[in-house]
Structure 1
Amino acid sequence: MQYLLLIYGNEAEKLKMDPTDRKKLSAEYGAYTQSIVQSGNFKAGDGLQPTTTATTVRVRDGKIMTTDGPFAETREQLAGYYLVEAKDLDAAIGMAARIPGAKDGSIEVRPVMIYDK
């Protein structure tokens, strides 16, 4: 089954990181990504640009409305994701717990819907 591992963290804190810590975190993500690629669990994944680049789209009464920025003000922002293949929820949780961002943020684990053909 496929699971989406959504990485949430405090964007403002990440921007304050000194270059050495940022480089260390990047290396941790690289090692994690390489491990799930090698294990065959990796399907897709990317980091996201800051929330200042986001646009929220809504359609109300047939009219398209856009708003700059994220949908809601929160302490943690969606920073990236991994799409993984896991035998069950416990395996997906195990993968999520190894994501570097879990140490100071949170990882949401969501099963991907399966559509009948």
Structure 2
Amino acid sequence: MKYMLLIYNNAESRKAIEADMDTVMAKVDELMDELRASGEFVGGMALTESSRTVKVRDGVPIVTDGPFLEAKELMAGYLTVDVDSMERATEIAARWPDAALCAMEIRPVIDEVK
């Protein structure tokens, strides 16, 4: 089953990452190497802090910028894995550095868009 691991950070966790970038990236690289070797890695990307929200009301798109730095947590990226269970996805998320510095969210993927 595929799971999307959503990576969150905040101002404090970003400072911690920047202060110890080599160690954080070494942990990420080690985990990514394991996931690639096991065939569990599907994909993933880091995201910028800028985004846009689109809502359509009465047929009219309403576009706003955000989230802003006032937000407590921002989505920093995502990782998609194909693993046997939610427990395995949880194990992977717990090893990701952002889990210790801010948060990781795990969501089962229902179906792939074709």
Query: Which band: TM-score by shorter chain?
Result: 0.7 to 0.9
In structure 2, stretches of 5+ residues that fail to align are none
Cα–Cα, structure 1 residues 61 and 19, in superposed 2: closer, same or farther, change >3 Å? closer
CA distance in structure 2 between the partners assigned to 1:113 and 1:31 by the alignment: 28
CA distance in 1, matches of 2:17, 2:85: 38
**Sequence identity, in percent?**
40
> Match of 1:36, SS?
helix
- Is 1:86 the equivalent of 2:83? yes
In structure 2, the partner of 1:28 is 27
TM-score under structure 2 normalisation?
0.85
Q: Which runs of 5+ in 1 are unaligned?
A: none
The alpha carbon displacement at 1:23 in A equals 2.8
Task: Give the ranges of 4+ consecutive aligned residues of structure 1 lying more than 6 Å apart after TM superposition.
Answer: none
The 8 Å contact of residues 13 and 98 in structure 2, kept in 1 or not, is answered as: no
Code of the aligned partner of 1:43 = V
Structure 2 match to 1:102:
99
- Partner AA of 2:3 in structure 1: Y
Which residue of the other structure, out of 22, 38, 60, is the alignment partner of 2:57? Answer: 60
- TM-score norm. by structure 1 comes to 0.83
Q: How much is the aligned-residue C-alpha RMSD, in angstroms?
A: 2.2
What is the number of equivalent residue pairs in this alignment?
Answer: 112
